[in-house]
Amino acid sequence: MRNYMLLILLIVSTVVYGQAKPEWNSIFSAINSEVQNNSKAYTSLKTATETVGHRLTGSANGKKAEEFAYNLLKSYGFKDVRYQPFEVESWSRGTLNVLVGSDQNQLQPIKSVTLAHSPVNASVKLELADMGNGLEEDYTSNPGKVTGKIALVYLGVLPGSKPGTKSLHRSEKTALATKYGAKGIIIINTADGGILLTGTASVTGKLIPIPAVCIGKEDGLQLKQAIGTKNHFASIQMTNFSGLIKARNVIATIKGKSIPKEKVVVGGHLDSWDLATGAIDNGIGSFAVIDMARTFQALKLQPARTVEFILFMGEEEGLLGSRAYVDAAIKNKSIDQLRYMLNYDMTNDPKGYSTTAEESKELFQSIGAIAQTFDTSYKNTFRAGAGLHSDHQPFMLQGVPTGGGAGGTLPNNAGPCYHADCDNFKLVDEKGIKNTVRFSAMLLYGIADAKEIKAKHFTDEETKVFLLKNNLKEPLQIAGEWRWKD
């Protein structure tokens, strides 16, 4: 019965989804076997967490991580491996003391963590203003409420908010607080159990003018309730470090067999925050990319188009490595050669593929239909849409189609440990990371080897229309990245 079902799935992949090449069946079978039997993603990530530790861009650990990835790719037989250096404003935390209370003279300490790109020195003691979800409407509906005060903002969307209320990134909420006159911001985490979240509070990757901190959900909601009955105050005292340093993306290349000037890029950010070892964010993504590269090299795969495997640094501090890559591609005029960018950021055990280009559905599902013959738990789902705040963004803003794995879930209830001190290797699932590697290596090969990629590399005007269609104008305006005039 199983063999019969596999035959049916193969027929579907070649008849219904006509973009699949006949030879992909045997190539994908080889990918499947190689990953299932020889994947090094899990063990390499374990070694990195034990020997490198956190991978903060600009730190000694960040440099060790770059070298670890470079040497690993070299050990897999890659001749064409290189560093792409870029200059970045490095940020690291120093001291922090946050006090809150209703009596300015008897404030009490509250557990907190500094959000990245906060000032090098800050000392404020001011009244708190509850600004709800921290959206533009929260400020415009209460003119002057936060001026000269410290904003208290929920990281996500508060329970009881009106239906359809959207959320913004913490950096965008900080930018809005600054715009409306706040002198500091305290962001309430959404994870239970007092877990603290770090991450950048800057939309630009540069220092922000006000101190930004995160507090736990329980403390934050209790404080929010107290403010509703009596004025409360907060004191934020902090020191941090910031300075220009060198960081490096790590790039391994396989030249295309017949269309070498067209390029498909697959990447994931190697860097992590410094509270833990970044096993989930983004060890599972970046080490999956490294193992995709190992798989291609082990099988001597050479699709029609050139493939680049990229480990980006600086994602956590403002997509700095991917911006550097795209800026260099614009400068050397290779940007038009980019036909697709696949991004792996906390991707785990995908059940399908996602893309910004609806036109890729036939190609993606033809690839997925073959993948499904090896494991029917892979559902071959398809999703088209667009978002921000990961390394696909600089590519997408230049009109490059982007995509990756989709439909999976994080292992071992890892979600609450996002950017937190509990993001360590015990959360990683070996089967999940293997599935990311094998199904994504098939996607990568299929795109790079396809006879035709229907997804266009947009012109500047087409990119604008696409971003408007996906409701991305407002967050891009907040970040200062909307380059079009109305």
We report the CATH number of the domain holding residue 376 as: 3.40.630.10
Total-model pTM? 0.91
Number of separate domains in the chain? 2
Considering only CA atoms, which of 411, 123, 143 is closest in space to residue 239? 123
Please give the C-alpha separations between residue 373 and each of 9, 244, 409, in angstroms, as whole numbers: 6, 50, 21
Q: Are residues 225 and 317 in the same domain?
A: no
> Which DSSP symbol is given to 115?
P
- What pLDDT is recorded for position 89? 75
- What pLDDT is recorded for position 204? 87
pLDDT along the chain (486 residues), means of 10: 46 57 98 98 98 95 98 97 91 96 97 97 98 98 97 97 95 98 98 95 93 98 96 98 93 98 98 97 98 98 98 94 98 97 98 98 98 97 97 98 98 96 97 98 98 97 98 94 92
- What pLDDT is recorded for position 19? 87
d(CA 273, CA 198): 8
Helix/strand/coil for 81: strand
Q: Are residues 343 and 428 in the same domain?
A: yes
Q: Is residue 73 part of a domain?
A: yes
d(CA 5, CA 23): 20
Q: Are residues 235 and 309 in the same domain?
A: no
- What pLDDT is recorded for position 17? 54
Q: Is residue 485 part of a domain?
A: no
Residue 426's domain comprises 2-80+255-478
Q: Is residue 279 part of a domain?
A: yes
